[in-house]
Structure 1
Amino acid sequence: MKSTSFLLFFFAASFSGIAQKPAGMTVYSGHITDEPGKRIEYATIVLLKDDIQKAGVTTNDEGDFKLEVENGTYTVVTQCLGYDPVRKTIRLPLSHPDTISLKQSSYALKEVVVQAKNIERKADRFILSVSPSSGKDGTELLSQAPGVWLTDENISINGAQGTKVFVDNREIKLTGEELLSYLRSMKSEEIKRIEVIPIAGAEYEASSRGGIISITLRQRQYNGVQGNIMMGTALSSSLNRYLPSATLNARMGKWTVNAAASGSFTPKNNSEMTSSREYTNDSDRFSSLSEFDTRSNYGTGRISSIFEIDTLNSIGAEIEYIGQVSKSSSYSETELTKQGFLLNSTGDYYQKDDYNTLSATANYLHKLDNKGSVLKLITDYANKKSTGKNNYYTMQKEWNKDSTYRSNSDATYQIVTSDISLKKYLKKGMSLNTGLKYTYTFMDDNACYEGLSENQQWNVNPGYGYALEYKENIFGAYASFSADVNRWSFIAGVRGEYTRTSNKSDHIDRDYFDLFPNLNITYAFNNLKTWMLVGQYARNIERPAFYTLNPNRLQTSDYSYNIGNPYLKPTYINRFSATIVYNYRYTLTIGGSLHHDLIREFCKQDATDPDISYITYENHNIENHWFVAANIPLQPTPWLDLTANFVGVKQDIRMTEEAAFAHHYLAFANVNTSFRLPEDITLEVQYNGTSRLYSGNSEIASRHIFSLSARKKFAGNRFLLTASVNNIFNRYNNFVSHIDAYTTRSHYESGSLGRTFKVSLTWNFNSGKKIKKKTVERSSDSERNRLNEK
């Protein structure tokens, strides 16, 4: 830490000496108001010289602006929707901030002739400033953000897995349709800005490998109540799912109260998998059919409260509860021919799993100045209890043999975190961000397997049972320094994490210390920053999710099962990229993600019965992804938006140190087209395509999905009706697994993956003046994600 502090001091001292404005440059700043003197946010102000735009910006939510240009005489053009444009001539430099007053217009403002950017590129992120008058919802705004991919089930940056979504510094742990519905309920009037961070900095967890999408809401100043209620459903011939949710935000004097509840109720979810094998010898044959009926109920509730002690200090607390019950039954039929002898078998399986998670958060925030400097203290606790009951019955017809066995499992997970951070804005566009964090994790997981003997007695099978007691302590510290110097922008940081793990059941203890450096550099080729070059590097870690460590054996058919691996090691990732940015939003990126000990699913033969295969998790020695990504947003007409994202990947895999590299070429595409029709109707067509994918000794066939959705706003935007059909052409998944004795080919059809019709209705309500919405920050969201079920 002493060496890190010295480096940061050296950077600060160096930049303080060079951050002077070049000769002939000046800062033109001020604010824009209406005639009564009220500040106007998101007004456009540009500087022209000989009718050529030299600089442009939009005012912030306080109506302030700041531009850096050369000294000289300029024409200032200021305009905002609903106001008459103002043109005037000034000579720079000015001795004081300028004030520009706009007069409210009696007619609608026509097409803007000169434009200021609403997308800004910083060293490590894109910042999309949202106009409150755009009339778009959260997903429409995200689809315009550079590099953001939206599918019917996921949100990512350039297709990378593990992207996290934050709203007002709180991670949104919803996934799939629930997350998309939540974002659709948000309106442009609520959203201040959207930040897209492809490579997370040192202030984020070292496990933030997929980047960050951060949404900041507007600060409203008056008491009142605001919220929304949503009811949605997803239907197909084999799926019935209902998705209710509600939020309530209230401000009363110095108190802010937020509450939210959501659920996912699935009374019907049928799926089917067919499998066949190709043996190395031509005499053996294998085919199986498995039918699944999975029903689940999921619910979450959250309430938080914030008290503003004064203008500089506030405290907050939040309690959240999550519960899920899942019941799954399956039936399988298998035909196996061994050396000319036919074996027919059937299996009935029943599984019930439920878990309950209770978490609590408390924080204290102290503002140090009006620049955004803040001191934060956050503590967080999460407790999850999980139980499972499984029953298995198999019958082998030729031998008239049957077997019955059962298993019972229970697990307790606990996560405690404590976090202190300081962000200090310095002079001349510099800032320093430092913090300390401690995380304690405990897992106690047990399972007992019993078989029914011929005399109808239950006997314990010690080979299948297990007891896993796992502890993890992580001590983290980070520091990052940022500066803007003329056309250059820098962020350099490092995060250090000391980790101690103890697996008492398997006598596995690990102690290790890691440094996770992060560097972001941006250079603008012109003053308007319409052409920019961005370089980024970060080192990340991916710790095993708890379900991958769990050696619980889950039977999927007579000849296949899934099982975890308690010996997994964490994955280390070195990520780097170079991006060319044109006109703030067109991007072309080349880079690489180099993985060491990457955790992958792997297909193996059972040691006791070679005809049985199973899926487990292993560490690949090396897996490197070299990629090129393009983001192309187009708006050929005011009523049509088209955003196309393409990624090409060269995948190099070496499973063990002794193995040779295997090379594959992958392609991904995501295209969204939005049509804004009369009567506040939006029609959206979406395409998502992936080439054949490779993982371990398994493959996933290529898949191309087309979806169509329509959204209608009515009653003054208080109601939003959404209807969609996902996977119009009903494309399913196909898998291939290769082991020495045979190759298995499987076709999987699921109600949630096939053609699905979805409808939702959202009611947004607001009483009194718009509220000032604040949320409680928490520090352990990335660790809590490891609790998620697969």
Structure 2
Amino acid sequence: MNKGYFLVLFLTVFLPYKVLAQVKISGKVKNQNNKSLELLEVQFQDKDCVLVKSELTGIDGDFTVTIAKGEYLMLIKEFGKMVHKQRLNLDHDLNIGEIRIVENQQQLQEVTVTSKKKLIVRKVDRLVFNVENSVSASGGDAIDALKITPGLRVEEDQIAMIGKSGMSVMIDDRFIKLSGEDLIVFLKSIPSDNIKSIEVISNPPAKYDAEGNSGIVNIKLKKAKGNSVSGNLKTSYSQAKYPLENFGGGLNYQKDKVTITSNVNYSNGSTAPYQEYTIFYPNYTWFETNKVRSLQNSLSGGFTVDYQISSKTVMGVQYSGVLSKPIRKGVNNSSITNNNFVLDSLIITPSRLEVERKMHSVNFHTITKIDSSGRQLSADIDYFKYTSDLNNSFSTNTFLSDGTEIAGRYIAANNLSNQNIDIYSGKIDYELPLKWVNLSFGGKLSFINSDSKVSYFNTTDLHPILDLSKSNIFDYKENTQAIYISGNKTLTKKWELQLGFRLENTQTKGFSETLSQANTNDYLKLFPTLYVTYKLAEDNTFGFNYNRRIDRPGYSKLNPFRFYTSSFNYTEGNPFLQPYFTDNIELSHTYKNLYTSVYAYYLKNGFDEFAYVSPGSVTQVVRPVNFYTEKSIGLVESYTFTKWKWWESNNQLNVYYSKTTSEIPDIVSNIENWTCSFNSINVFVLNKSKTIKSELNFVCKSPAVVGSYKASGFYYFDTGFSFLFFKKKLQTAVNFMDVFRTQKRIFEQTVNGIAQKNFDYRDSQRIRFSLVWNFGKSIKEQKKKFSNDEEKKRTN
């Protein structure tokens, strides 16, 4: 497929329409002395106080902005402080003329806007959850915030959108190349108090990577306030079965052309997840309990430095890092009973897993606003380094039903793993607003190297003996080249169209040195996106969108490391996993506070973990495999209740049907199911000064299909209270999670005709106390008087 195909197709779609898309608004900003004011920020906010457009004034104080027709609040800011506001109803090009700014501190205070952001804002292609307005997220981490974000669920170390099969995670519009437990560990290092908002993008446009088959969640962190020094100190204490403590703080600085943000966080404590696992063999039943104490010990931090080189260009660097040393202590008890429920034998396996993870992420970025029409060029260069060292020691002993140890059945081993991942990437994006269409296009290159080494030592006789049959050295490389083009056009006052194409070329190579086995893959794929909106009235809009996505296996799933819970069962990665693709389609309707969506997706070549068992063996192996196709169709109803000022309630109902068809039906059977889920987030203001708030959240879900498993239903309640003191500088909160200890699940699957049942409880019931102290002060602008100031005036 040549590049001309894209150009012809794009021009065919957009050129026939007349120019009805945008309007231009221009003006000039001066002070009371008739001096032009440069580098003032001109913002345009919609009715929901959401920033739609932003531009800086030029050297002559002038600005020109191209924007869609509608009603806006125009705000002019000087180093973050409000100096002017004005309501505008834009239905044609407008020249405001000169705007006079009186440089007077008293006047600045008078025009300060104190509008309250909504907890949840729904935009054309995404839902925005303002975490800073949530009580339940106070004092927690990013995972706590994601759990209460409408449209998301966090289960089994997986983050997914309700009714969909998977997703990717971004921090400030930059993808996090982690998955599974590694991603959970990283997100737990981000305090929820550092998060401004979470964007749920169900069908991402072509600008974003095609990875993450059903959407993207974008975590937006708080920024430094203009012309000020600010920061916070925070601590929290959580109590479940065991305590978990968190300490941290941040310091931000912004003056003139320099902006610096920084944070550090340390957590220490433990949780106690519990699992039960039952396998119904033909002649006996295997029942296993797994009691674990998971100790957390994590230090994380980061900083961002931005420098405004000129009125049009900003350049910066961002760093974030995590050092985590968790320890997992567990005891696995496996009892084997015959068909008459008589105990035959008991297997006891104590284990200790020590892990050290290091993550370093460095980003260099630059943004240049080429002119006042909105043309903009941005570039990013990223480097990500991840290392993990695992040391799993365990022993297994077998006893008869009377407690007698069976001779010769004692086994002890030491399982070691080392994994190193290096990711280099660079991208460039260009925004080009034209009279007939708003274009954006760009490209990206990424290079991924992953090396892993697995060693298994038999320590039964106290002298370690390397077992080469359970050891492995595995190297994985993945290179991707991508280009995209996207266009947005307002066809009429009612119709708006956005069309995009992303082309990705990927080469992968996995090589097992121990097995002398290699697997290569080279594929070129096109990922189209389409958005159509029809505005029947100002508060009545219909939408349609379609996209195609890819989901590549996480590095942990490619790592052939074997994690043994006993000598009879272990979990291992599959270095030869292949990506799978998903086609998504959605029809939506927004009417005032009510949002309705009908969606469907088709997933092909899906991979999932399943426990492989057979009648002739007692060994259980959990391994991810590509083996299924999934179809799903569903309905989402979302309603925000805001009738009373003291109560805001955001509610979402989702009903969907899912069918998983196995490509190995003799081993894993087909499953299908109707599922219903409901969640409600309620915020209550308890006093007139709005310094005391409470929150009550409810989540429930009926039995569902999760990959190749049938999962039981569940429900739980979260509640919390927050208090503000000392002019709202001190915030205290108390939160109760999973109040009635009902967040428990049972997963069922049939493999080789053998039924399996897994009970899972993640120690989710807990109480958390948190304390946040915010401090800061404004920095007065120091205007230096130069010797040639008088001569400069003569140039005006």
Indicate the TM-score class for this superposition, using the shorter chain for normalisation.
Answer: 0.7 to 0.9
Distance 2:646 2:396 in 1: 60
CA distance 1:126–1:614, change in 2 (3 Å): closer
C-alpha displacement of 1:553? 1.3
Specify the alignment match of 2:125 in structure 1: 124
Deviations 1:612-651, CA, capped at 9 Å, x for gaps:
2232212233111111111111123111111111111111
C-alpha displacement of 1:182? 4.0
C-alpha displacement of 1:14? 2.5
AA partner of residue 420 (structure 1): I
Q: Extract unaligned runs of 5+ from structure 2.
A: 56-62, 76-81, 139-144, 401-405, 782-796
Specify the alignment match of 2:771 in structure 1: 761
Counterpart check, 1:630 vs 2:637: yes
Contact 1:639 1:676 in 2 (8 A): yes
Q: Within 5 Å, which residues of 2 pair with 1:152-163?
A: 158=162, 160=164, 162=166
Specify the alignment match of 1:6 in structure 2: 8
Contact 1:270 1:292 in 2 (8 A): yes
* Pairing partner for 1:563 from 531, 556, 572: 572
AA partner of residue 417 (structure 2): S
Distance 1:397 1:631 in 2: 56
Q: Within 5 Å, which residues of 2 pair with 1:462-477?
A: 462-477=468-483
AA partner of residue 767 (structure 2): F
Counterpart check, 1:251 vs 2:259: no
Counterpart check, 1:424 vs 2:427: no
Q: Within 5 Å, which residues of 2 pair with 1:338-357?
A: 342-357=344-359
Specify the alignment match of 1:73 in structure 2: none
Aligned-partner SS, 1:507: strand
Counterpart check, 1:744 vs 2:756: yes
Deviates more, 1:388-397 or 1:269-278: 269-278
Deviations 1:411-434, CA, capped at 9 Å, x for gaps:
111111121221112225x31111
Specify the alignment match of 2:399 in structure 1: 397
CA distance 1:262–1:5, change in 2 (3 Å): farther
Distance 1:108 1:357 in 2: 45
Specify the alignment match of 2:681 in structure 1: 672
C-alpha displacement of 1:138? 11
C-alpha displacement of 1:307? 1.9
Q: Within 5 Å, which residues of 2 pair with 1:349-748?
A: 349-398=351-400, 399-401=406-408, 402-428=410-436, 430-452=437-459, 456-486=462-492, 487-505=494-512, 506-526=517-537, 528=538, 530-583=539-592, 585-605=593-613, 610-656=617-663, 662-678=671-687, 679=689, 680-695=691-706, 697-731=708-742, 732-740=744-752, 742-748=754-760
C-alpha displacement of 1:135? 7.5
CA distance 1:163–1:227, change in 2 (3 Å): farther
CA distance 1:167–1:596, change in 2 (3 Å): closer
Specify the alignment match of 1:230 in structure 2: 234
C-alpha displacement of 1:213? 5.1
Distance 2:289 2:117 in 1: 60
Q: Extract unaligned runs of 5+ from structure 1.
A: 47-55, 71-75, 772-790
AA partner of residue 684 (structure 2): F
Distance 1:118 1:348 in 2: 47
Q: Within 5 Å, which residues of 2 pair with 1:258-297?
A: 258-266=261-269, 268-281=270-283, 284-297=284-297
C-alpha displacement of 1:151? 7.9
Q: What is the TM-score of this pair, normalised by structure 1?
A: 0.80
Distance 1:44 1:452 in 2: 66
CA distance 1:687–1:581, change in 2 (3 Å): same
Higher relative contact order, structure no. (Cα contacts within 8 Å, ≥ 6 residues apart) = 1
Specify the alignment match of 2:785 in structure 1: none
CA distance 1:310–1:13, change in 2 (3 Å): same
C-alpha displacement of 1:177? 11
Distance 1:630 1:560 in 2: 43
Contact 1:447 1:465 in 2 (8 A): yes
C-alpha displacement of 1:355? 1.5
C-alpha displacement of 1:198? 2.2
C-alpha displacement of 1:105? 14
Deviations 1:327-357, CA, capped at 9 Å, x for gaps:
1122223222468882222222121111112
Specify the alignment match of 2:209 in structure 1: 205
Q: Within 5 Å, which residues of 2 pair with 1:93-242?
A: 97=96, 124-125=125-126, 148-149=151-152, 158=162, 160=164, 162=166, 168-170=172-174, 182-184=191-193, 196-212=200-216, 222-236=226-240, 238-242=241-245
Distance 1:106 1:420 in 2: 40
Distance 1:45 1:304 in 2: 29
- Figure out how many residues of one structure are paired with residues of the other and give that number: 725
Contact 1:300 1:323 in 2 (8 A): yes
Aligned-partner SS, 2:556: helix
Deviations 1:20-65, CA, capped at 9 Å, x for gaps:
48xxxx979789999999999999999xxxxxxxxx9999778999
Contact 1:701 1:735 in 2 (8 A): yes
Specify the alignment match of 1:53 in structure 2: none
Aligned-partner SS, 2:8: helix
Deviations 1:573-618, CA, capped at 9 Å, x for gaps:
10110001112x42111111211111212121279x7122232212
C-alpha displacement of 1:139? 6.3
Contact 2:499 2:529 in 1 (8 A): yes
Contact 1:126 1:146 in 2 (8 A): no
Distance 2:752 2:601 in 1: 30
Contact 2:315 2:366 in 1 (8 A): yes
Q: What is the TM-score of this pair, normalised by structure 2?
A: 0.79
AA partner of residue 223 (structure 1): N
Distance 1:86 1:409 in 2: 61
CA distance 1:167–1:512, change in 2 (3 Å): closer
C-alpha displacement of 1:262? 2.0
Distance 2:213 2:741 in 1: 32
Contact 1:34 1:104 in 2 (8 A): no
Distance 1:57 1:334 in 2: 56
Specify the alignment match of 1:52 in structure 2: none
C-alpha displacement of 1:119? 9.3
Deviates more, 1:757-766 or 1:566-575: 757-766
Distance 2:109 2:304 in 1: 43
Distance 1:116 1:707 in 2: 23
CA distance 1:321–1:336, change in 2 (3 Å): same
Q: Within 5 Å, which residues of 2 pair with 1:20-35?
A: 20=20
CA distance 1:344–1:770, change in 2 (3 Å): farther
Aligned-partner SS, 2:469: coil
C-alpha displacement of 1:176? 9.1
